[in-house]
Structure 1
Amino acid sequence: MGLNGPVASGRTANADVTVVGSGPNGLAAAVVCARAGLSVQVFEAQPTLGGGARTLPDPEFPGVSHDICSAVHPLALASPFLAEFDLPARGVRLETPEVSYANPLPGARAAIGYRDLDRTAAELDDGRSWRRLLGPLVRDDAAVVDLLLGDKRSIPANLIAAVRIGLRLLEQGTPAWRTLSGTDARALFSGVAAHAISPMPSLVSSGAGLMLATLAHTVGWPIPVGGSQAIADALAADLVAHGGIIVAGQEVTEPPAGVTLYDTAPTALLNIYGDRVPPRYAKALRRYRFGPGVAKVDFVLSGDIPWSDERLANAPTLHMGGTREQMADAEREIAAGRHPEWPMVLAAVPHLADASRIDADGRRPLWTYAHVPSGSTVDQADRVMRIFERFAPGFRDVVVAVRSVPAARLAEHNANLVGGDIGVGGTTLLHALAGPTPRINPWSTPIPRAYLCSSATPPGSGVHGMAGYFAARTVLRREFGIKRMPSLTP
């Protein structure tokens, strides 16, 4: 897997804009600039493009492909940037399952988040509280996206809806989160909130939970056919169609000429610019802290997972952290630098929505993350298997191969993931609002003609392209005097 067609070798020394890093945000920034009429070049250190949206073949069973970072993409349809870009119109098939996500529970039936809000509530012990929390947001999901994926500097278009969302943020981000009733409903929401990899309750986890749970009942949680790479490939193809140049397998170690956008960890600027970084900014970057990490464990399976609760057989996305209390305890442990016995595990079974992920011999991938302390060197494969065995006795019998990457080694696949932090240090409330260092414009830096567009800048992590979009908007206005954003439609 990986984009091979539109990748060019060589370099345009006088390009108007250089983008370092080809993750979704870097490609989004490059697409916006190219469509504005600028000459653009993108450099990617890895041999394949996509950053957090890459898909690669299994080393032993090439008919099975693994998503290297992200696997399921509710924001592929909901993100304002990707909605206007219109992935389906560009040939990217996004299959949306009936079940958005599920949360197995010890000693009880699993909690299931269907795309249908009413069906979800009907199966919960107290569906009324689920409807109360999410019903108004589902009816106004555009306001949810506007607030949580916005630039955090503009007045929300719908102030009444913003207040409604804000009250729920406070409710689920503080000890008041007990207003959501029922063990199953609390676990169901907490599993979604855990995508933020933040102590719970917190405003960061609450924001992630509200946005993703809302989208689960509106656009759903789609899976791209062929893997996440399809999203990166569509962005790259559009860039090349507008004159952009992409160079893979080349690390940038010196400042490029002209304006540069960095889809990198902020600390990368220290290595690239050296003593040219202003002293106060250099000090701030040296003090930059990355968050907890994830250990990646990919499996190749010979057949279906033998779930005890048969309804889980229809769930392509799984939150396997147990109850709300167990998840909160585990997140506190990793924040303190300890490995919990039962870590929060996120899993995806993409073949349930995309049959092309099954090879000729019936083998298929299983994608998992386990939350761990930053920089953990511990292999989590056995722990993840034990968690699956808890809810699917005999799981080990269908495991053909295990591909395990501890958090400390994730940066080998993507230099942004320092210590295994898939949020690039951006999953704190301060960073979500102000960026990696407090600045009026968080996509700018005090380094002349250097800008940041990675997940370390607002609105934070996720395959949505919005950080790249906002960074490109800043560049167009400040560097080129272009105030009108270009159309993104095919």
Structure 2
Amino acid sequence: MTDVTVVGSGPNGLVAAVVAARAGLSVRVLEAAPTLGGGVRTAELTLPGFRHDVGSAVHPAGLASPVFRRLGLLDRVEWVVPEVSYAHPLDGGRAGIAWRDLDRTVDGLGSAGPAWRRLVAPLLARERGVVQLTGSQLLRVPRDPVAALRFGLRALEQGLPWLWDRRFAGAGAGPGGDGEAAEALLAGVVAHAGPMPSLASAGAGLLLAMHGHGVGWGFPRGGSQAIADALLDELRERGAEIVTDAPVQRLAEVRDSRAVLLDTTPALLLREPDLPAGYRRALERYRYGSGVAKVDFALDGPVPWSNPLVGRAPTVHLGGTRAEIAAAERAVHAGRQPGVGGAPRHPYVLATQPSVLDPTRAPAGKHVLWAYTHVPAGSTFDATELITAEIERFAPGFRDLVLASASSSAADMARRNANHVCGDISAGALSLAQLVKRPVVSTAPWRTPIPGVYLCSSATPPGPAVHGMNGWWAARLALRERFGR
């Protein structure tokens, strides 16, 4: 009998497996896909020699993760940490630039700079406390009440519709003003988590903005696969069994283990006929969010941004002003696709250009670009032209550099990864309710009512991002309850 079986080889599943293996337990990892890594895979999706991240590309939460630090991933993976964490171009060649150096960012934002400092600097001063607060679940008493208060007040400010306009109101928030650039810079990170204003997206955006001036928005040299490979190397060294092309349809297939950790959505549990009725109802009420449509580009040269500083940022947020981005995200939330029909003209686009700092990602002189836009759940929409046009808006001539592209609709994303339900890469909608109830309200939400079975995916606290915390909490709970360790 195997001590621990982990279903799924995403970062949370692999972290859980390593924790169990380090405890001296026998471990088996089952992966449905033919390749390992889940959301941190890297592959040649367009042309030979062009290495694209299949899922996540940039990992500020990874650099800040106490688990990654404890497991040695910050040393075993070669991280590229840019001077410019992210950029947000605007029409007319203007741009908001989030340097890792907070002072440099403040200077670049002109009259809105002091307001930006007052927003971010108090969080940076309690960075460890903010990470501890957001790295577990909201039902726990915060270790650093001051950090919790500072973070909470700012999330309320940016998450409530009658407050979110006030921060930069006195700094030229109109067209062409410094406040407009600062608002857009913040909107770009908030929109990672969906519609705005909302408390959940505001909290996620503030955490990302803090990391931009703290640990930085780093990524592994060679691609995100390096994170999975480092964890897999340790598992193999410790004798773990790792099996690909091994989908699990029912828990009966893995009940020969003393503990089972599921790096999956709750959907697998809903197939169990003996699931307690109350828990089943809770899982049935669990909601998934909008999907993403992703496009990978192989380029003949660097993106010709109108503002050269944008070319120094591996991560770029597109979509224009905060008002434009908010309108686009509201449309998606309502089931309409920006750029189509009567929906807003411009979409929000998250783009990553890792080859500006990592030449291993493409042949000499060539580049890769990773980009996605939010779309209605389950959409079959091909976003290639929509994303191309939005990049061209801020980088005239981009279209002429495209050598090849690979498009994945939300429906494609769901087919390739069962955790991406209807194209939702967060394994569940990000709302305040579902940050508390993820997937159930509990002081130990990783535990299921089925003895020995635990959830360790992004459908549990602390939610999505590549940080391994979900797997860490679930594995610790399983070790204590099933093995007395």
Match of 2:249 in 1: 253
Match of 2:189 in 1: 192
Amino acid paired to 2:437:
A
Report the Cα offset of residue 431 of structure 1. 2.0
Match of 1:159 in 2: 145
2:174 counterpart of 1:183 = no
The whole-number CA distance in structure 2 between the counterparts of 1:238 and 1:434 is 33
The whole-number CA distance in structure 1 between the counterparts of 2:74 and 2:155 is 32
Report the Cα offset of residue 277 of structure 1. 2.3
> What secondary structure, in the 3-state scheme, does the structure 1 residue paired with 2:57 have?
coil
| Worse overlay, 24-33 or 236-245 | 236-245
Match of 2:92 in 1: 107
Note the alpha carbon deviations across 1:125-157, whole angstroms, 9 max, x for none: 410100000011112211111111123343222
Report the Cα offset of residue 426 of structure 1. 4.6
The whole-number CA distance in structure 2 between the counterparts of 1:385 and 1:396 is 7
Match of 1:277 in 2: 275
Match of 2:175 in 1: none
Normalised by the length of structure 2, the TM-score is 0.93
The whole-number CA distance in structure 2 between the counterparts of 1:201 and 1:427 is 13
Match of 1:37 in 2: 24
2:126 counterpart of 1:129 = no
- 8 A contact 1:433–1:459 mirrored in 2: no
Report the Cα offset of residue 172 of structure 1. 1.2
Alignment of 1:159-308 (within 5 A): 159-175=145-161, 176-181=163-168, 182-197=179-194, 199-255=195-251, 256-257=254-255, 258=257, 259-271=259-271, 273=272, 275-308=273-306
The whole-number CA distance in structure 2 between the counterparts of 1:339 and 1:458 is 30
Query: Which of 478, 481, 484 does residue 481 from structure 1 map onto?
Result: 484
- 8 A contact 1:455–1:461 mirrored in 2: yes
Normalised by the length of structure 1, the TM-score is 0.92
Note the alpha carbon deviations across 1:74-108, whole angstroms, 9 max, x for none: 12210111121222422x11011111000011235
1:193/1:67 CA distance change after superposition, 3 Å = same
Report the Cα offset of residue 368 of structure 1. 0.3
- 8 A contact 1:426–1:455 mirrored in 2: no
> What secondary structure, in the 3-state scheme, does the structure 2 residue paired with 1:454 have?
coil
Note the alpha carbon deviations across 1:347-406, whole angstroms, 9 max, x for none: 00001121111214x332100011111111110100001101111111110001110010
The whole-number CA distance in structure 2 between the counterparts of 1:474 and 1:73 is 26
2:56 counterpart of 1:70 = yes
Alignment of 1:269-418 (within 5 A): 269-271=269-271, 273=272, 275-341=273-339, 342-360=346-364, 362-418=365-421
| Identity between Structure 1 and Structure 2 (%) | 53
CA RMSD of aligned residues (A): 1.4
Report the Cα offset of residue 211 of structure 1. 0.9
Report the Cα offset of residue 434 of structure 1. 2.4
The whole-number CA distance in structure 1 between the counterparts of 2:137 and 2:67 is 12
The whole-number CA distance in structure 2 between the counterparts of 1:480 and 1:153 is 26
Match of 1:19 in 2: 6
1:426/1:476 CA distance change after superposition, 3 Å = farther
- 8 A contact 2:140–2:443 mirrored in 1: no
- 8 A contact 1:300–1:401 mirrored in 2: yes
1:58/1:45 CA distance change after superposition, 3 Å = same
The whole-number CA distance in structure 2 between the counterparts of 1:448 and 1:336 is 40
The whole-number CA distance in structure 1 between the counterparts of 2:101 and 2:410 is 35
Q: How many residues align?
A: 463
- 8 A contact 2:250–2:268 mirrored in 1: no
The whole-number CA distance in structure 2 between the counterparts of 1:83 and 1:429 is 28
The whole-number CA distance in structure 2 between the counterparts of 1:414 and 1:280 is 28
> What secondary structure, in the 3-state scheme, does the structure 1 residue paired with 2:133 have?
helix
Q: Which stretches in structure 1 are left out of the alignment for 5+ residues?
A: 1-13, 483-490
The whole-number CA distance in structure 1 between the counterparts of 2:415 and 2:422 is 10
- 8 A contact 2:190–2:206 mirrored in 1: yes
Amino acid paired to 2:399:
R
1:415/1:385 CA distance change after superposition, 3 Å = same
> What secondary structure, in the 3-state scheme, does the structure 2 residue paired with 1:177 have?
coil
> What secondary structure, in the 3-state scheme, does the structure 1 residue paired with 2:461 have?
coil
Alignment of 1:43-122 (within 5 A): 43-59=30-46, 61-90=47-76, 92-107=77-92, 109-122=94-107
The whole-number CA distance in structure 1 between the counterparts of 2:137 and 2:237 is 28
- 8 A contact 1:103–1:318 mirrored in 2: yes
The whole-number CA distance in structure 2 between the counterparts of 1:151 and 1:200 is 22
- 8 A contact 2:45–2:296 mirrored in 1: no
Report the Cα offset of residue 452 of structure 1. 0.6
- 8 A contact 2:302–2:356 mirrored in 1: no
Amino acid paired to 1:264:
T
> What secondary structure, in the 3-state scheme, does the structure 1 residue paired with 2:297 have?
strand
The whole-number CA distance in structure 1 between the counterparts of 2:260 and 2:87 is 42
Report the Cα offset of residue 69 of structure 1. 0.9
Note the alpha carbon deviations across 1:446-467, whole angstroms, 9 max, x for none: 2222111110111000000001
The whole-number CA distance in structure 2 between the counterparts of 1:184 and 1:164 is 24
Amino acid paired to 1:344:
Y
Report the Cα offset of residue 249 of structure 1. 1.4
Report the Cα offset of residue 248 of structure 1. 1.1
The whole-number CA distance in structure 2 between the counterparts of 1:86 and 1:433 is 30
| Worse overlay, 95-104 or 284-293 | 284-293
